[in-house]
Amino acid sequence: MAATSAWDNTTLFVDDDPADRAFRAEVRDWIAANLPVELCNRSTRIDPPELKPWHRKLYERGWIAPHWPREHGGMGATLTQQIILFEEISRVGAPTPYPHGLNFIGPLIIDAGTGEQKARHLPPILTGEVTWCQGYSEAGAGSDLASLTTRAQLDGDHFVVNGHKMWTTNGHFADWMFALVRTDPKAQPRHAGISMLLIDLKSPGITVKPIQTIKGDAEFAEELLVDVRVPCENLLGGLNDGWKVANRLLGSERFTTGHPRNAAVLLNKARQVAELTGTLHDGGFRARLAALEIDLLAFSAYYRHAAALHGARRAPASMAPVIKIVGGELGQRASELLVEAAAGLGTLVGDTTFGNHVINPAAEMFEMRRVTVGSGAVEIQRNIIAKRVLGLPS
Amino acid sequence: MDLLLTEQQSLFAATAARLCADHGGPKRLRALRTADADIDREAWRAVREAEWLATVVPDDRGGQGLGAFDLALALEQAGRQLLMVPLKEAAAVASTLSRASDESRASRILDDVLDDAGLLVPATEAASWRPGSRAPGLCYDHKSGVLNGHIAFVAYGDAADAFLVAIESDPRPVLALVPRSDVAIATEQNVDGSASSRLTFANVHVMAENVIATGAEARRLAVGLQELLMLGAAVELVGLAAAAHDITLDYVKLRQQFGRPIGSFQVLQHRAVDGFIDIELNRSLSYRVLAAFDACEHHPAMVAAAKARASRTALAVTRAALQMHGAIGYTEEHDIGLYYKRAMVLAAQYGGELAHTGAFSHLTLEQAGAAP
């Protein structure tokens, strides 16, 4: 979108050093020359198969895994460079690659995997040939993840897995699933009886069904697992160590999923739509917009501050949950303002053309409902801060 | 989150924390209120001896050449300990004088300020209005040098020996020093024991040697002065809110109801977490905008945002603190009410949440050319 404002909320507090600036310019030029235009500013979901060519291009340029160490095919980039890549990709409304392989299981395999697991799984994550999904949640285990009941029983050199996984993003497109399964039903506390298995979704006994979201697309799926045989070498980390393995993730991946850019883009859309619909002349709208921009400014300051501390290895335990809570809730409020801005056009099922942009305000708002629930609801994040940071009693 | 500080800054912050803890606190505030004092002379002497005003003055003007960011490390502690000293006011004056181009006049006054020859506090028209409006409260005759009118809500007006008066309404703004003896001062007490004064200027002859700047320079200096006051109040509010939050955490960990500490109830936990998050964001924001101020980047919208958010959050945190204390929080006896009252005063001082949200909206949308 053309900038209509001297107030640029997408670059707040960016403080690149000369090397960062050069890198940013290089990324920007390359994206302009290489990004398929049909992927930009889409109001509908882009499923993994359609994203593969773009993933491949980033891979060939060497930028697909900025946060992975060089020895495993990553860039070994600084956190600032990682953030720059994300910012420059999202700046033009282009999709960032799905995180399940690159940001979730990839780093876990690098961290806890055997040499064989690394050699087998890391290269196809980088190239994008293999799509991964995360098998954590179940019908009865959402926020209370440790109560999961999908069972894996050792039978010779295989685990036999029985259970039902749900809410797995891209489950119906994925080739592999990394799953938390119960390997010791008697263990106390319950999370001490959980292991992490890498499951080939082509294995016999797996039925995958897509689930339609309120947004209207099939983002996630459920998987029924009946006597699925998983070779022992697909255990990641030690037996009953799954909880520990999974929890090593939290941290720097929040810098992309929780980037203030998400809310900034929505607020800019809201402002531009409001200009066209006339909503911008309403005092109430202007007051709400200002309040949200002020919160975004504060969050941007926090975000850069957190990145600097993270770079200095001094980030506090509260950082990841704070970014998750504030980034998610701010994005939601911004998306609600976009629907307000669109007035009567905000409730239409289909896309609307505003100026030279196609926007679906309702879909944007539905999309943002996901972010305060997925990968640990904001209420759970608040519990984490209450107990681990503020020291409040149980 | 910790600020990323140099070793010198960490040392300074620790010293400031100690000094403020030694001289401040709720007990001290109560004593001052009983004595009807609107300034803590003893604490102020300690602050002067520690030379905190010099942080915002360049080396070549007799200061330490640090910046508003460094001063804020002390202001946050002053806010934390409810200190009743005109630190941000006197420092804003010192910083403004050091940036004046007419060195001969400003330097003389600045030297007096740094030598503790008297208390010089700012009296800015902007502070007594809603930002954005331009109702003139002062009238200055450039030919005769006669000043008429009034300025309201001047903090530490009763304790001041002189005022740095920023006349912004005039087509040719003026920044001038006016001695206390030329001003009629009416002072009223605020809820927290501090005071605010209404200054009346009746045919005051401003001496030529006391005119520090006129025209565009006066406006630039007055804007900087006002911004420092706003950012100073914002960071004081961060310290104050953090202190009230800590007291409340201690309370809910101890207070038992239904056979368990009330801090174990999720609804109170989440309320405490939201306060914590807001304080964290405001600390990052205030210091970030202060650093920009020191780098001479002019961001009036960001300054307005920092003050708006600090005001809102400090009020929300102290209100929640009162609520979580239950009935004891509503008593005069308990200290938590003092934090609420101080938050009220600092939130309103130099413009409250809604005034600055309006200013922010005006600045950001006006620039976009989208205003109706």
| Bigger pLDDT: A318 vs B116 | A318
**What is the third-level CATH fold of B218-367?**
Butyryl-CoA Dehydrogenase, subunit A; domain 3 (1.20.140)
**CA-based nearest distance B12→chain A, Å:** 20
A45 CB-contact burial (10 Å; exposed 0-12 / middle 13-18 / buried 19+): middle
d(CA B131, CA B352): 10
What average pLDDT does range B215-223 have in this prediction? Answer: 94
Q: pTM (2 decimals)?
A: 0.95
- Digit-coded pLDDT (tens) for B39-96: 999 999 999 999 999 999 999 988 999 999 999 999 999 999 999 999 999 999 999 9
B357/A390 CB distance under 8 A: no
Minimal Cα–Cα distance from B244 to chain A, Å? Answer: 14
| CATH 2.40.110.10 residue window(s) in chain A | 132-240
User: Which of chain B's residues have a Cβ under 8 Å away from the Cβ of A383?
Assistant: 266, 269
Residues 277-306 of B with CB under 8 A from A: 277, 280-282, 284-285, 287-289, 301-302, 305
Contact A390 B285 (CB under 8 A): no
pLDDT of residue B170: 76
Q: Which residue of B has its CA nearest to A298?
A: B285
Q: Is the pLDDT of residue B133 over 60?
A: no
Residue whose tokens read 């069972």: A151
By DSSP bridging, strand A132-135 and strand A176-182 are parallel
CB pairs under 8 A between A and B: 134
Q: Start-end ranges of CATH 1.10.540.10 in chain A?
A: 18-112
Which fold, A254-389?
Butyryl-CoA Dehydrogenase, subunit A; domain 3 (1.20.140)
pLDDT of B292 reads: 95
Measure A15 CA to nearest chain B CA, in Å: 11
Average pLDDT over residues B116-120: 90
Residues B323-338: what's their mean pLDDT?
A: 97
Contact A55, A35 (CB under 8 A): no
- How do B162-167 and B174-179 pair as beta strands? antiparallel
> DSSP string of B293-359?
HHTT---HHHHHHHHHHHHHHHHHHHHHHHHHHGGGGGSSSSTHHHHHHHHHHHHHTT--HHHHHHH
Q: Does B367 touch chain A (CB under 8 A)?
A: yes
pLDDT for the residue numbered A4: 39
- Position A251 scores a pLDDT of 61
- When CB atoms are compared, the residue of B1, B289, B372 closest to A309 is B1
CB B178 within 8 A of CB B206: yes
Q: Is A253 a catalytic residue?
A: yes
Q: What is the reported pLDDT for A6?
A: 62
User: Is residue B245 classed as helix, strand or coil in its secondary structure?
Assistant: helix
C-beta atoms of A393 and B260 within 8 A: yes
Q: How far is B311 from chain A (nearest CA, A)?
A: 12
CB–CB contact B277 A326 (8 Å): yes
Say whether residue A247 is in contact with chain B using an 8 A CB cutoff. no
Q: CA-CA distance, A176 to A92, in Å (whole number)? A: 31
Average pLDDT over chain B, rounded to an integer: 93
Task: Give chain A positions within 8 Å (CB) of B287.
Answer: 305
Residues 276-305 of chain A with CB under 8 A from chain B are: 280-281, 286-287, 289-291, 293-295, 297-299, 301-302, 304-305
For the domain made up of A132-240, the CATH class stated in words is mainly beta
What is the three-class DSSP state of B35? coil
pLDDT of amino acid B105: 83
Count other C-beta atoms under 10 Å from residue B41's C-beta: 12
Contacts of B249 in chain A (CB under 8 A): 390-392
In this predicted structure, the answer to whether residue B288 has a pLDDT above a threshold of 70 is yes
- Concatenating the DSSP letter of every residue in B37-60 gives -SS-HHHHHHHHHTTGGGGGS-GG
| Closest residue, chain B, to A329 (C-alpha) | B274
Catalytic hit among A253, A293, A336, A340: A253
ipTM score for this prediction: 0.95
- Considering the segment(s) A18-112 as one domain, its CATH architecture is Orthogonal Bundle (1.10)
Name the pairing type of β-strands A158-169 and A151-155.
antiparallel
Domain ranges of chain B: 218-367
Q: Round to whole Å and give the CA distance between B49 and B276.
A: 34
* Residue in A143, A267, A281, A286 to test binding to B, most B beta-carbons within 10 Å: A286
Phi-psi map region of A198: left, alpha, beta (phi>0 left; psi -120 to 50 alpha): beta
User: Taking 70 as the threshold, does the pLDDT of residue B128 lie above it?
Assistant: no
Secondary structure element (H or E) that encloses residue A354, with its range: strand A352-354
Pairing relationship of beta strands A176-182 and A220-231 according to DSSP bridges: unpaired
CA distance A221 to A384: 28
- The ranges of chain A with pLDDT < 70 are 1-6, 250-252
Model pLDDT for residues A10-63, shown as the tens digit of each residue = 888 988 999 999 999 999 999 999 999 889 888 788 999 999 999 999 999 999
Cα radius of gyration rounded to whole Å, chain B: 21
Residue B132 has pLDDT above 70, yes or no: no
On the CB side of A325, CA atoms within 13 Å amount to 23
Tens digit of each residue's pLDDT (9 = 90 or more) over A183-202:
999 999 999 999 999 999 99
